[in-house]
Structure 1
Amino acid sequence: MNSLHHSDEYESFLRCLESRTINIVPSVLGGISDPVSSLTTVATTELFKLAGLLYLKRASRNFSGISPHIDKLVQRAYLFFDDLGTCNLTFPLLIVGCEARTDAQRMRILEYIERATTSSSLKSLHALRNIFQQMWVQNDLLWIMSSTT
């Protein structure tokens, strides 16, 4: 790992970026009179915020362990996916899907993708499902190997 990842300047930058991400507010809410559109905008914005925060926690700090804070972010993301019903938001699906550890979480991600493919023909959604299935098999194999040693 690069020694800059441990510098005070880098940590300060990450805290600033995290704060800016947390404080994002949908700017279009003032002009929306339809409550359904307003809820969709809020849920979509929150999903992107949560995905950004998850990515920031994992990638910027090179963290691959278990974290109660990350688990809370993931659970919130599932609630917003449920609120949206159908969404083809590939980036949030990718980030949250990478955090799926249990069969129940994985099934939910696959259900979200399945719902999205019924309203969209995005090839990226089909590819995402395949990526998850391969990644989850690898994660399970790594877990089995680590628990037997």
Structure 2
Amino acid sequence: MNTLIKILLAIVISSISNQIDIDNIGQYQEKTLAQSIEDGQWVYEDFCVRCHLPTGNGVSGVYPPLAKSDWLENKVDKSIAAIKYGLEGEIEVNGEVYNNVMTAQGLSDEEVADVMNYIMNSWGNTQDEMVTVKQVKAVEKSE
């Protein structure tokens, strides 16, 4: 009987392991866009609101707007990099030049994806394609 139990247990374990993606155990599972936006709002309120304000309008000449931002819409990977690694130097947003320093916020890749989805779907921004953790992980710091 002991052998029979071992055989049955081996069959069950084998069947279960074939249904589990072993490479992804313990890793982030993709969220729905709605959940990512909701989580991103919390990240925004904790890390971004001081400079970019609750309205996403920023401060003219100092902190660029995120609301209806052409830079954000046209430079998604650069926006991700700015959140992940910080941003220094001149950029142009909605026709206005900004030359300030944004420090890296120390966010996880999941938090970066969530806040990107939040800001890309707030204040007049609409983005159908969700920013994923995989996409954030792929963005490297440029020198």
Structures share a fold, TM > 0.5? no
Larger relative contact order (Cα-Cα within 8 Å, sequence gap ≥ 6): 2
Which structure has the highest helix share of the two?
A: 1
Which structure has the highest strand share of the two?
A: 2
Larger radius of gyration: 2
TM-score of the two chains, using structure 2 as the length reference: 0.26
